[in-house]
Structure 1
Amino acid sequence: MTSTECPAIVTYAPQPEPDLRCEQVLVSTSLEDHQLLVQMVATGLCQLEVHLSSDSEALGGSKYPRILGHEGAGYVKAVGAKVEAAKVGDAVVLSYDYCEACRLCSQSQPAYCENFHQLNILGDNGSKFRAIGNPHSPIVGGFFGQSSLSSLSVVSERAVVRISELLKDEGELKLFGPLGCGFQTGAGAVTIAGSAASGDVVVVTGLGAVGFGAIMAAKIAGCKTIIAIDQVDSRLGLAKQIGATAVLTTADRRDLRKELSNCLGDRRLSLVIETTGAPNVIEVLVDCMGHRGRYIQIGIPNKSNSGASINLPVLSLVKKRIIVEGNAQGSATATEFIPRMIQWYREGKFPIDKLIQPFPADNFASALRGMRDGSVIKPVLIW
């Protein structure tokens, strides 16, 4: 097995704090039929990296050491014998893996692949990463089919979206990595899962990349009222610039139920995109839903709330005909939706450049701090 050395950010088991290290690793360059070798240009950081580096049992457990990263963008360096998605030299954005064989994949719903958890969260890609100095010590890869927190990675063909003809320059490639998860999830939740249309009243809670993706998509859809909820004032101000028609803060322990009811007035709340995972927020939002409203849960609880549950008002659910659903990747098929978001960006409708802050990859600790304290909306590591 041939391999080459490259820098990567390796996540070790939390003890008790996250343990991430920028290290040189060995990556195999021997590819299976449907694998590609991708040289990363940029990798977005997401709250999912924070969850999995902070809590070994998050989302059903995790093996360590491992290489995370699921918002990669770069250039193809080599391809397996049967790869059709891209060729050597192509610019690609990476998204998520899926099996193609289960019932939901066969129904064109790859974001809900029955094997999604195994392939994207737990799965390995054949132990393509090894520790230098100890070649018998594997490092788990294959995260979301990409493990893009390595400057060079073996990627599943199904996670690849070729964008060579859509790309103007490498500077854009440094912006487009987060399209593969965060922005796709928020925008898809509004336009695909939520079927938002002109006249709808939308609430978006939590203003990270997912929340801002939802706000931008709601504006594109012509939604009548777009209410953004967060606890960081600077993010609320930016939300109004991006497309929110009203903002509410949760920073000073106000009565969110009363504030939201006052903001809605007699308007029907038709769509909620919830990204915080906070049980107290969730219960208020479900209670405020309008008749036949759709509530979409995206956020997962943080470590302190990992076992939390909520009370659902059964009578209200039935009387109002409320739809409550969990969501993955905005229900989007990446090969279709990423080009759509790039077109929105070209038209000035999807200004992700206002939301992204680049960091050198070896300064990942500063990027994570900024994401945690709210000063950075979408950090992107540049390799």
Structure 2
Amino acid sequence: MAEPISTRAIVCRKPIGDGEGWQMETVRLREIEDDELVVRIVASGICHTDVTFGSLTVGTPFTHYPSVKGHEGSGYVERVGPKVTVAQPGDPVLLSYAFCETCAICKAGHPAHCVVSTPMNFLGYDAFFSEDNASETPDLRGGFFSQSSFANWTIVKQHSVVNVKGTVSDADLRVLAPLGCGIQTGSASIVHLTRPGPNDSVLVLGLGGVGLSAIMGAKLQGCTTIIGVDRLDSRLRVARELGATHTIDTSNMDNLDELVKQVQALTDGYGAAVTIEATGAMAIIRKGLAMTRFAGKYVQVGVAPFGEELSFEVFPHMTSGRHIIGTVEGDATPSEFVPKMVAWFKGGRFPVDKLVRLYRAEEWHEAVRDMELGKTVKAVITW
């Protein structure tokens, strides 16, 4: 039996807004299973999904207390189970989402839409012992997206591991930690899922990490009309730096019909060939189709509040030929898409560093606050 590993972790014992709901604690790892690795985490992006699922009321489906969140991790492999083939101790890795590998959807090349994706990613598995737990049973849930990267050392399932040996430096691992979720979602929704050409217009609604990554994806595709929409001037400015040809500030709009008019004016009255909705705000979502041209593609990546519904009249929708697509992770397979993003970054074509701000792990509360206030696009905590 290997010597137990003690580590620091941000433990989510209650919703984040509930006083001391999240706290840095010392915890221990359980023994790894045959298909698992121990990864020493170097950095982890903070995603709104971490905060969302760490803010839900006790008893809400697919949430668990106490647990360790984090799902945009990077680091080095320290131990491997006997059935692990993806990496060896010492290899640098980037971590992504969980999927079963065996269902018909995974086998068809769509692991992001695995039939058991939701429980695998959001419920995870018991992986940590609290410091005062002397029993043989872990009492802290890990395995958030099969990684729980808000810990200096963590247990990861091998399907969530992308080996980047020989392609990245230690400094790169800090900047590239978010590739496995938010940045993959935005860029793959363009480059992999919808694949617009140079003559296609792209509209991105919401310029957080996902939306700005979609802007970078559209630039990679050579699109000549790339429209970014947000209410924060700082993010509109970054969008222009990343390749947006037009930006629209909604901060002073009293009526979103004005937004529809401005988008149509920038697209010869037709609307965008591809619309990426990354806000999750129902008021914006309900206007999304009106900003998308006939035979265009409307892609929902922003997470709307649970229980919300979208309706439309069937016959006009049918005659419009518009495609409505829901996606997570841009339908990308991490082992294929993450190396592409690394290569684009190393080649100077995918400036992820313009989105990232680094914080020490102990500053996680400041990092969360800065993201919520719009002071930073993608906060990354480092260990």
TM-score range for the pair, normalised by the shorter chain length: over 0.9
- TM-score, with structure 2 as normaliser: 0.94
Deviations 1:44-78 (Å, cap 9, x if unpaired)? 00010111112237983311010011000000001
Residue equivalent to 1:78: 79
The structure-2 alpha-carbon separation of the partners of 1:23 and 1:334, relative to structure 1 and needing over 3 Å to count, comes to: same
Pairwise CA distance, 1:279: 0.9
Runs (4 or more) in structure 1 with deviation over 4 Å come to none
Calculate percent identity across the aligned residue pairs.
Answer: 35
In the alignment, the residues of structure 1 paired with residue 323 and residue 198 of structure 2 have an alpha-carbon distance, to the nearest angstrom, of: 19
In the alignment, the residues of structure 2 paired with residue 259 and residue 57 of structure 1 have an alpha-carbon distance, to the nearest angstrom, of 43
Q: Indicate if the aligned counterparts of 2:270 and 2:292 stay in contact, CA closer than 8 A.
A: no
* Distance 1:135-1:201 versus aligned 2 partners, 3 A rule: farther
> Runs of 5+ in structure 1 lacking a partner?
none
Is the Cα–Cα contact under 8 Å of residues 205 and 276 in structure 2 kept in the other structure? Answer: yes
C-alpha distance after superposition, 1:187-243 (max 9, x if no partner): 100011112222111111111111111100101101121110111101001101110
Matched residues in 2 for 1:81 and 1:311: separation? 50
CA offsets, 1:6-54, max 9 Å, x none?
Answer: 10011122286472111111112x2211100000000000010111112
Asked if the contact 1:31/1:154 (under 8 Å) is kept, the reply is: yes
Aligned to 2:94: 93
2:53 equivalent in structure 1: 52
CA contact (8 A) 1:287 1:313 kept: no
1:106 maps to which residue?
A: 107
Structure 2: gaps spanning 5 or more residues: none
Tell me the SS of whatever aligns to 1:270: strand
Q: Relative to 1, partners in 2 of residues 1:59 and 1:295: Cα closer, same or farther, differing over 3 Å?
A: farther
Q: Which amino acid aligns with 2:380?
A: V
Give the 3 Å change call, closer, same or farther, for CA 149–351 of structure 1 in structure 2: same
In structure 2, the CA distance between the partners of 1:313 and 1:348, relative to structure 1 (3 Å rule), is farther
Deviations 1:238-269 (A, max 9, x none): 10111001111221134322232233333552
**C-alpha deviation, 1:378, in angstroms:** 0.3
Equivalent of 2:269, from 262, 266, 271? Answer: 266
| SS of corresponding position for 1:13 | coil
Alignment of 1:209-228 (within 5 A): 209-228=209-228
| Structure 2 residue 310 is matched with structure 1 residue 307 | no
Read off the aligned partner of 1:236 and give its amino acid letter.
L
Contact 2:264 2:270 (8 Å CA) reproduced = no
Q: Specify the SS of the correspondent of 2:26.
A: strand
Cα deviations across residues 349-377 of structure 1 (Å, max 9, x unaligned)? 10011110000001100000011011110
1-structure distance, mates of 2:62, 2:247: 36
User: What's the secondary structure of 1:211's corresponding residue?
Assistant: helix
Partner of 1:159: 160
Q: Secondary structure at the match of 2:362?
A: helix
Residue number in structure 2 paired with 1:68: 69
Q: Are 1:281 and 2:284 an aligned pair?
A: yes
Q: Which amino acid aligns with 1:256?
A: L
Does the aligned pair in 1 maintain the 2:264–2:271 contact within 8 Å? no
